[in-house]
Structure 1
Amino acid sequence: MAADTAPRRRFGGGDLNGLLGLVVDNLSLLAFMATALVGIFGMPADIVFRRMFPGTALGVLLGNLAYTWMARRLAARTGREDVTAMPLGIDAPTSIGMALLVLGPAFVGYRQAGLDDLAAGEATWRLGMASLVVMGLLKFVLSFFGAWVQRSVPRAGLLGSIAGIALVLMGFLPLVEIMRVPVVGFAGLGVVLYGLVAKRRLPFGMPGVLGAFLVGVALYYGLGPLGLLGTGYHAPAAWQWRLGFPWPTLGFVQGLPATVPYLPLILPFGLLMVVGGINVTESARAAGDDYRTRDILLVEALATLVAGICGGVAQTTPYIGQPAYKAMGARTGYTLATGLIIGLGGVFGYLSNLVELLPVAVLAPILVFVSIGITTQAFEATPLRYAGAVVFSFFPAIARMLAIKLGDPSIVDPAHFAALYADTSHGIAPLAVIVILGNGFIITSMVWASFVVAMIDGHVRKAAGIVALGAVLTAFGLIHSVEPIGSVYLPWQLAPAAQALVWPFVAAYGALAVVLLLLSLSRSRTA
């Protein structure tokens, strides 16, 4: 009988290792989001901790419960006791992107429009909910067409675009936070690199993530009270029970109109998670656990959708590395325990206390490692001949990062950018080009990598078609929006000065498409 073949051991030493790694990964992302929204953009903490966190944590709970059940069902069906559940948690690239590129700038924009902090925070929360619902619906639909998505977009385009996010947003920006308290952050980063990149064994077989976490906490709370960290140390806030029940709400409906300017970011975020889900399912299958791809994608989509309806603002995803959890001996207990710890923590508020106790310098090294892993995978999982396409796809993400660090157009006085756009004495001003190039950077990265891949494969006419598609996307602001906040538009409704910026970019794509069509007429061979 099936009950006799199901695994009897529900939680073991391997599950403990998996639990520590998965919980710390989720905590680090929640901490970064809270630091960005509260510390950088000034959003009220109660909005983040009582409204955004509970719904987001609910998605983690539901997804992990479903994956645990799927693993135990697979174990019962196959009679194996070594089945490892698919790990699920908050997605790193898109959560950081949502905080830095959507929610934070939107909050500042609402305040500039005259709303007080509380009203601006509420409006931003509704925007976040609506964004998550849009992503959840997109993932739900695409979960039935996963194979088509994989065939339509080259792997270099998909992995290159997400690697660009990883490199500059998940890697560089957290590295800046590490070096703001270098004694703590750099030591923790070194432990992460030792245990997870160099793959050296830590004392007592301790997981690399846990080792870095303990070293960072020990240094921060050991040296900080002695004044040896300077202004980098802040005494922990008093413990608070921030109860927040993730009840379903129609607040996302009010936020839907506000998502329109951010669709060039939101839609690719959902698409990337579908492809990521396909890839991690294949990875688990190669490790011996044959999950049905559509089931994995549907769970991910529904967890995201329910989280958005219940107030969440960060989507969930199955994590890369199921074979690694399997190798450390984790089975099904670690996902069940992670879901309960994170889910209940969002409800009873202890997640917010943990986030406040753990400075970003302690948690950021984990994000840097994830950045390294994702960027490395973009090259390892892509044939070597496409490496140039992957690298080429990084440039739009770099432009977006520069726009953030040099003065995000969503935050800086619009008159500043109006002056930049007006300076055309030697062509379009360089900083204006950076802003325009960075707007819609995820889709831009996909387009750029895809047409380079087509050229490498000798499909020059296909490359011309992809470039022509880029011209259409540019015309409507889905990529290279000339609006400082990156919103989409109908080009003929723009002011003459803005149209004067749109059409040169459209013409650039058009000219390249024509050149490629002419080149396709010649019978050229690879050098």
Structure 2
Amino acid sequence: MRRTVPQTTRNIPLFVSADFNGFLGLLVDNLSVMAFLATALIGIFGFPADLVYTRMFPGTTLGILLGNLAYTVMARRVARRTGKTDTTAMPLGVDAPTTIGLALLVLGPAFLSYKQAGMDEHAAAIATWQLGMASLVVMGVFKTVLSFFGAMVQRHVPRAGLLGSIAGIALVLMGFLPLVEIMKVPVVGFAGLGVVLYALVARGHMPWNLPGVLVAFVVGVLLYEGLGALGWLGHGYHMPAAWQWRFALPWPTLEWLHGLPLTVPYLSLILPFGLLMVVGGINVTESAKAAGDDYNTRDILLVEALATLIAGICGGVAQTTPYIGQPAYRAMGARTGYTLLAGIVIGLGGVFGYLSNLVEMLPLAVLAPILIFVAIGITAQAFEATPVRHAAAVVFSFFPAIARMVAIKLGDPTYVSPEHFNALYNDATQGVSELAVISVLGNGFIITSMVWASFVVAMIENRPRQAAWIALLGGALTLFGVIHSVMPAGNLYLPWALAPALRSMALQFAGAYLALAAVLLLFSLWRGERGPAHN
């Protein structure tokens, strides 16, 4: 039997021709997410652009640089250990669902609330930046700890709960909302989206074997600039912004310490964001192993956790994650050089400012199609990677995310005063008012999705007693606002410290879980706890 002889790194080429395709795909993936982050903060919430591009971008891209450098080294070590010269590095970049979620649910609303509290725009922007940094530090520390317990998390939370919760974010925040942006310039956006779907979903062949993301990008740019110059896009076309020289080094700073107290109201979002990345890192490592590249799961998780932590300390506001597309990069022939090249180009882009110039020059309609594809992939995976009989639990877990999206489109409830909340409650002719229900249902939606999917899975498996305990946990979380917070900004609280109307609302939602638990316990006593109903 022929033995595999370990290779030295000298025998493994640093770059192969296909690495260029992989580099372009990884670059556009990251550029799309960074563009949505900037568009949301600047365009939707009126955040100062200079702070986004000279404070937030450099620190965030430093995390991408360091993470990809580490993954390149890890890939070459795996190649040397296994003797496989076709080893493909794990791609790392800005996580799309949590970055969009952080912008729309934490940073943007916080900026507006600080201004309403009397801060001038600059002070409110600095406080928001500090909040973003502190959020990343909290997530980085949390992920570092969880990287040693990732398997335990997977054992105790059903896959429908873990994947369903992130699929809910993907479907409504990085799928539907970017789709709305695309359709503002439909001739450009829909064509680019079609190319992405043809190349990446239908697996259609691109000319000269180019990556589908790059072809979609080129098609979008040509349509936008060509039709826009002819005046055929109407108000959907804007002249490209002038190129600006921005130089900003991502130095470590203690500014994040000022933001730590500001994270408390948002912990019900921040901590699940970190948890989801740990579980996602485990899943993508398993996916890479199935494709033929055997990475150590703990090493993968620790690298991305430390990259997030360093990014936060240096001014970043978006966490990094290993991308789920490693087998796709392997299939296109990329090896260990594409992550090195992407990390350097993106990292230096944050320092020298050309990344921010690209974001300003390119419309979201050109960049957003890749976000929609990723949203489709994440949502599809939630169904493909869970047992078929648990599909109903996955679907049920989407509803809290939908409620949060509706609340965003109706006018974010963080702008609603507690007094107005009281009026909404007291004016209801029957039960809690509709707007209040939407807001409360959407607050803490990630953890809510996990809880809902988990007790539905327990029901499906004919374990009503287990489902009852999960429902009781949901009620306990509700009492303190971890989920279903009755405060406009989704704050945590002590129930006895609430105003009477808000306390009544909190008790009703907590009582709903208690009533469900009682019914399920009665079922378990009547029929007994049994095993799964299906094979």
Poorly superposed stretches of 4+, deviation over 6 Å? none
Q: Kindly indicate whether the alpha-carbon contact (under 8 Å) linking 1:7 and 1:72 is maintained by their aligned counterparts in 2.
A: no
Choose the corresponding residue for 2:256, options 246, 252, 268.
Answer: 252
Q: Kindly indicate whether the alpha-carbon contact (under 8 Å) linking 2:7 and 2:83 is maintained by their aligned counterparts in 1.
A: no
Partner of 2:226: 222
Q: Kindly indicate whether the alpha-carbon contact (under 8 Å) linking 1:6 and 1:80 is maintained by their aligned counterparts in 2.
A: no
SS at match of 1:522: helix
Say if 2:450 is the partner of 1:446: yes
Say if 2:85 is the partner of 1:88: no
One-letter identity of the residue aligned with 1:339: G
For residue 418 of structure 1, report the CA deviation from its aligned partner: 4.3
SS at match of 1:313: coil
For residue 417 of structure 1, report the CA deviation from its aligned partner: 4.0
Choose the corresponding residue for 2:77, options 70, 73, 76.
Answer: 73
Larger deviation: 459-468 or 417-426?
A: 417-426
Sequence identity (%): 74
Say if 2:178 is the partner of 1:174: yes
CA distance in 2: counterparts of 1:272 and 1:264, whole angstroms: 13
For residue 203 of structure 1, report the CA deviation from its aligned partner: 1.6
Say if 2:285 is the partner of 1:281: yes
Partner of 2:191: 187
Partner of 1:15: 19
SS at match of 1:89: strand
One-letter identity of the residue aligned with 2:339: T
CA distance in 2: counterparts of 1:23 and 1:54, whole angstroms: 15
For residue 422 of structure 1, report the CA deviation from its aligned partner: 2.6
For residue 412 of structure 1, report the CA deviation from its aligned partner: 5.1
Q: Kindly indicate whether the alpha-carbon contact (under 8 Å) linking 2:192 and 2:217 is maintained by their aligned counterparts in 1.
A: yes
Partner of 1:296: 300
For residue 413 of structure 1, report the CA deviation from its aligned partner: 6.2
SS at match of 1:397: helix
For residue 172 of structure 1, report the CA deviation from its aligned partner: 0.4
For residue 141 of structure 1, report the CA deviation from its aligned partner: 0.2
Say if 2:440 is the partner of 1:436: yes
Check 1:3–1:289 CA distance in 2 against 1; reply closer, same or farther (3 A cut): closer
CA distance in 2: counterparts of 1:4 and 1:132, whole angstroms: 37
**CA deviation string 1:93-130 (max 9, x = no partner):** 00000000000000111111111211111100000000
CA distance in 1: counterparts of 2:92 and 2:380, whole angstroms: 21
Choose the corresponding residue for 2:344, options 312, 329, 340.
Answer: 340
Say if 2:335 is the partner of 1:331: yes
CA distance in 2: counterparts of 1:170 and 1:505, whole angstroms: 29
Partner of 1:48: 52
For residue 424 of structure 1, report the CA deviation from its aligned partner: 2.4
CA distance in 2: counterparts of 1:31 and 1:415, whole angstroms: 36
Larger deviation: 275-284 or 8-17?
A: 8-17
Say if 2:131 is the partner of 1:132: no
For residue 421 of structure 1, report the CA deviation from its aligned partner: 2.7
SS at match of 2:310: helix
**CA deviation string 1:202-227 (max 9, x = no partner):** 22212111111001100111111221
For residue 426 of structure 1, report the CA deviation from its aligned partner: 1.2
For residue 7 of structure 1, report the CA deviation from its aligned partner: 4.1
Partner of 1:401: 405
Q: Kindly indicate whether the alpha-carbon contact (under 8 Å) linking 1:393 and 1:449 is maintained by their aligned counterparts in 2.
A: yes
Choose the corresponding residue for 1:212, options 204, 207, 216.
Answer: 216
**CA deviation string 1:222-258 (max 9, x = no partner):** 1112211111111111111111111011111100010
CA distance in 2: counterparts of 1:41 and 1:338, whole angstroms: 30
For residue 13 of structure 1, report the CA deviation from its aligned partner: 2.4
One-letter identity of the residue aligned with 1:178: I
SS at match of 1:502: helix
Q: Kindly indicate whether the alpha-carbon contact (under 8 Å) linking 2:422 and 2:502 is maintained by their aligned counterparts in 1.
A: no
Partner of 2:161: 157
Larger deviation: 155-164 or 414-423?
A: 414-423
**CA deviation string 1:287-332 (max 9, x = no partner):** 1111111000000100000000000000000000211111111101
Partner of 1:307: 311
Partner of 1:372: 376
Considering only aligned residues, what root-mean-square deviation do their CA atoms show, in Å?
1.3
Where structure 1 has 5 or more consecutive residues not aligned to the other structure, the ranges are: none
Partner of 1:458: 462
For residue 523 of structure 1, report the CA deviation from its aligned partner: 2.5
Partner of 2:514: 510
One-letter identity of the residue aligned with 2:322: P
